[in-house]
Structure 1
Amino acid sequence: MNKFQGTGVALVTPFNTDGSVDYNGLKSLINHLVDGGIDYLVSLGTTGETATMTKDEKKKVWAYTAEINNNRLPLVAGIGGNNTLAVADDIKSFDTTGYSSILSVSPYYNKPTQEGIYQHYKYLAEISPLDLILYNVPGRTASNMSAETICRLANDFDNIIGIKDACGNFDQFNQVVRDKPADFLLISGDDPITLPMIALGASGIISVVGNALPKQFSDMVKLCLAGNFKAALPAHLSLLEITHLAFAEGNPAGIKAALKHLNVCGDTVRLPLVKASSTLEEHIIEEIEKITQLA
């Protein structure tokens, strides 16, 4: 499981001004992250605006991402939804070339019971050709996957190897760390609590801010994983404001504004999302300049 230690990044999907996928921008982003020392990449998670992409677009983006990555870093594909059978079909038809695992979000909108969440992942685990990473994000799904359900799945299925948890509840994290199998990965799903989560036993982060600041974020995470929290603390604190700004008007509008300033890719998003406001963009640029000058 060492390939999912450290800093993963949930890739944005760059779009051209006409709304089409910007493959040159995606290539630039992948190279920016590889060069920045990121440990693994997550293609088409929530940050990738998958809710507004067609199945054909997703297939092309997954294939292109694998091609450009060229086995330089482990790759994870985001494949989830609230229709278990449809998600299973998507997983069965997924071209696994170049990919190590699938990140699958807990079913949203339906608000299933804990037993329903368990049975959803049980079904996926039994048909998936790749290992699965669970994804708990109650702020988007409107339901929390409990520590009991997480650990039940972790203990029952060898190919469920970890969870990206964005619940923000340290009581839950404590229970997961206590009750999970030793090799099951707890991965932070929130940039600003990465340091304390690693101190508790998390393996790292799947980051949004890392799109723009891969070196700064991955260097901080490496210090944490080495147990050098005193040295990591200044970097952790220096990233708090850009994290706040990145999410101030929704994800990924803020981080795309940062990427545009860094000349990595454009800031176009698809409706119903809109670009960051000019005021927010100014604040993001100021903060990016401050952080990069410290590097």
Structure 2
Amino acid sequence: MFANPLQPNTLKGVWGTLQIPFNTDDTIDYPLLNEGIDFLVRTSLHGIYSNGTAGEFYNQTEVEFDKINEMLAERCKRTERAFQIGASHMSPIISLERIRRAKALNPQAFQVIFPDWLPMTIEEQILFMIKIAEEANPIPIVLYLPGHAKTKLSVKDLEYLSDHIPGLIGIKIAMITPDRYADMRKLNQRMSVFIPGHHLATGIKEKIGSGSYSNVACINPDAARKWYDIMLSDVERGMLIENMVRKFFDEEIIPLASRGYSDPALDKLLAAVGGKIPANTRLRWPYKSADDKQVVAVRAAARKILPDFFDIQ
């Protein structure tokens, strides 16, 4: 019996990522990971997800993948918390095998990316998604479309996928520019659209997004959830907070991205800046991590620009 699979109208809100802490020898620090899971299940987040970009799904063994998700599923079931499992991989076969093994854990949804060695035609996208959805059934699928993906989809492509893949309930996308708002509103009526956390108030105001797999929640999950509730009750107040959040990202995070720090490095930095989530900033070889001096500097800026994100417990 599967536990309340998500639907397009129930996939919404602020979801927090599971970050994988590494020891200096690149092994996973499982005791610290356990602390991180324990912390996240006690927050007010709408749910938790594993093996997104911040979970470094692309740099794990399959034994590690299984253990990470067994730990998450056990804790979420015990505490009755919603969770999704990222079954993404650059290889379509490995992604399919991850779903086959993790299906018994009964997540509320699986997240996948398109195979990422070659760009895919629409016919190949359909073939991939049909088999993924069939294997996952009755657990639904959320398609993750990072900005750096080789396969680029238009709104019409996404509508076509929605028509042909009944198990596809949502997408996670990168930035949306104002010229695409009208098309995204139409898409958000067909499936749940998740957008970057620091743009979520705009997404709610413009009716282009239903929620976020939130980078902002890395700083403070409960503050991110409180901000979401404000957006729903007073969107203009939510926009004022977004202005401050985006100021922080523009001044402190985007410059680091331009210096070659990856999204997982920045998400781990944000968690260290917030000081709430038990984790560390270390990425597994060969990727570059933020250091302690950067954490101290960015934390000072965050406390100045976003003081409320540190006060909320």
Normalising to structure 1: TM-score of the pair? 0.87
Aligned-partner Cα distance in 2 for 1:83–1:270 = 20
2:4 matched residue in structure 1 = none
1:34–1:73 CA contact under 8 A, matched in 2: yes
Percent identity over paired residues:
19
Which residue in the other structure is 1:157 paired with? 165
SS at match of 2:110: strand
Write out per-residue CA displacement over residues 175-222 of structure 1, whole angstroms, 9 at most, x where no aligned residue: 243156x4521111x222211112232111011231231122111112
Distance in 2 (CA, whole Å) between partners of 1:96 and 1:287 is: 44
1:17 deviates by: 2.9
Contact 2:44 2:225 in 1 (8 A): yes
Cα shift at 1:161: 0.7
**Pair 1:283-2:297 in alignment:** yes
1:27 aligns with 2:34: yes
The alpha carbon displacement at 1:255 in A equals: 3.1
Q: Is the 8 A contact 1:163 1:186 kept in 2?
A: yes
Q: What are the superposed Cα offsets for residues 152-176 of structure 1, whole Å, 9 maximum, x if unpaired?
A: 2222332111111115344445324
The structure-2 alpha-carbon separation of the partners of 1:280 and 1:135, relative to structure 1 and needing over 3 Å to count, comes to same
Alpha-carbon distance between aligned partners in 1 of 2:192 and 2:239, rounded to the nearest angstrom: 23
Deviations 1:74-132 (A, max 9, x none): 11111123433332232222243241110111332311123322332122122223100
Partner of 2:238: 232
Pick from 268, 273, 290 the counterpart of residue 256 of structure 1. Answer: 268
1:1-295 equivalences under 5 Å are 1=7, 3-69=10-76, 70-129=78-137, 130-139=139-148, 141-179=149-187, 182=189, 184-188=191-195, 190-201=196-207, 202-226=209-233, 228-244=234-250, 245-246=252-253, 248=256, 249-260=261-272, 262=275, 264-290=278-304, 291=307, 292-293=309-310, 295=312
Q: 1:164 to 1:204 in 2, by over 3 A?
A: same
Q: 1:105 to 1:71 in 2, by over 3 A?
A: farther
How far the C-alpha of 1:40 sits from its partner, in A, is 0.9
* CA distance in 1: counterparts of 2:187 and 2:247, whole angstroms: 34
Distance 2:32 2:81 in 1: 18
* AA of the residue aligned to 2:267: I
Structure-2 change in CA distance of 1:29 and 1:239 (3 Å): farther
* Contact 2:57 2:89 survives alignment (8 Å): no
Cα distance between partner residues in 2 of 1:13 and 1:92: 22
CA contact (8 A) 1:6 1:225 kept: no
CA distance in 2, matches of 1:170, 1:120: 31
| AA partner of residue 96 (structure 2) | A
| Further displaced range: 243-252 or 63-72 | 243-252
Residue 3 and residue 72 in structure 1: after superposition, are their counterparts in 2 closer, same or farther (change >3 A)? farther
Kept in 2: contact 1:253–1:275 (CA 8 A): yes
| 1:147 positional shift | 0.9
Asked if the contact 1:16–1:266 (Cα under 8 Å) also holds between the matched residues in 2, the reply is no
Equivalent-residue separation in structure 2 for 1:258 and 1:126 (angstroms): 37
* Residue 288 (structure 1) shift: 4.1
Partner AA of 1:196 in structure 2: T
Q: 1:78 to 1:171 in 2, by over 3 A?
A: farther
1:112·1:143 contact (CA, 8 Å) conserved in 2?
Answer: yes
- What is the TM-score normalised by the length of structure 2? 0.83
Contact 1:122 1:153 in 2 (8 A): no
Question: 1:159 & 1:225 partners in 2: Cα distance?
Answer: 28
Alpha-carbon deviation of 1:47?
0.9
Contact between 1:33 and 1:211, CA under 8 Å: does it hold in 2? no
